[in-house]
Amino acid sequence: MADRRAEAVRALARNLGHDFRAPDLLEQALTHASVGEGAERDARGRPFLDNQRLEFLGDRVLGLLVADRLVRDFPEADEGDMSARLHALVDKAACARVAERLGVGPAIRLSPGEAKQGGRRREGVLGDAMEALLAAIWLDGGIEAARKVFDHAWQPEFAANPKKALTNPKSALQEWALKQGRALPTYNIVQRTGSDHAPTFTVEASVAGYPPLTAQGRSRQDAEKAAATALLQREGVI
């Protein structure tokens, strides 16, 4: 299993096209928070550093790179249009799609429990790791290195001309439900899995008269937004 993951990490590095001067940054970007709860340690006996801090930085790095690209690619677009495009290109679903194309899933270091629960395929886990990787590349090689990887990795997202993302899907679902003469939507947690440090919430969104729909997120709020968005998409509203 360790050899398989090592090969996956090497394949990911090739797909990224960045030669890390500090390989520890790559390992940290690929280490899920669940690993810290076990006894696993690195070759020097130190606890593994997880990718949460890098994910925090990577979220900002991604936002900057997308905003810069939009300003250059759409000189006639107004702020509202660019904001909508930005949200669609930086959301967790977009990051997870990029991660899947690069082969991030097999390279992620997870606790055995998280791995058994399908963590390598979870949108939140993949998206967070992708953001952490951008931060690691930024720290390792600077902004131009991060931009090079970003331009290559996100090109399919730009080419797909993504739909404008909703800034507040719960409000949009509420407005739609009222227009249909229905009561306000309701949200219920149907499952909570994972560790205290890296939980996954499954939430069911319901509008009277329509089949309910469930979605997952790293927080209750994220899961509610994902469920609201999915319900609006299913009903053809967006």
Query: Quick one: angle between helices 79-90 and 52-73, nearest 10?
Result: 140
Higher-confidence position of 39 and 141: 141
pLDDT at 39 over 60: no
* Fold for the domain defined by 169-234: Double Stranded RNA Binding Domain (3.30.160)
pLDDT (0 to 100) of residue 72:
93
Length, in residues, of the chain: 238
What are the distances in angstroms from CA 40 to CA 112, 209, 236? 11, 50, 47
pLDDT at 238 over 70: yes
Burial class (CB in 10 A: 0-12, 13-18, 19+), 220: middle
Interatomic CA distance for residues 34 and 54, integer angstroms: 15
pLDDT (0 to 100) of residue 148:
97
Each domain of the chain, given as residue ranges in start order, spans 2-159, 169-234
Query: Quick one: angle between helices 143-153 and 92-102, nearest 10?
Result: 90
Interatomic CA distance for residues 123 and 144, integer angstroms: 27
Mean pLDDT of 111-118: 86
Taking only the tens place, the pLDDT of each residue in 56-71 is 999 999 999 999 999 9
What are the distances in angstroms from CA 121 to CA 87, 103, 182? 22, 11, 35
Q: Which of 27, 59, 204, 222 is catalytic?
A: 59
CATH architecture of 2-159: Orthogonal Bundle (1.10)
Identify the band that residue 20 occupies on the pLDDT scale cut at 50, 70 and 90: very high
pLDDT at 109 over 80: yes
Burial class (CB in 10 A: 0-12, 13-18, 19+), 128: buried
pLDDT (0 to 100) of residue 43:
54
Q: Which of 131, 157, 222, 224 is catalytic?
A: 131
Active site residue 59: yes
What are the distances in angstroms from CA 174 to CA 21, 112, 169, 190, 206? 50, 40, 8, 21, 11
Per cent of the chain over pLDDT 70 is 90
Identify the band that residue 35 occupies on the pLDDT scale cut at 50, 70 and 90: confident
Among residues 194, 163, 183, the alpha carbon closest in space to that of 88 is found at 163
Mean pLDDT of 193-198: 75
Active site residue 144: no
Taking only the tens place, the pLDDT of each residue in 119-174 is 888 888 999 999 999 999 999 999 999 999 999 999 999 887 555 556 688 888 99
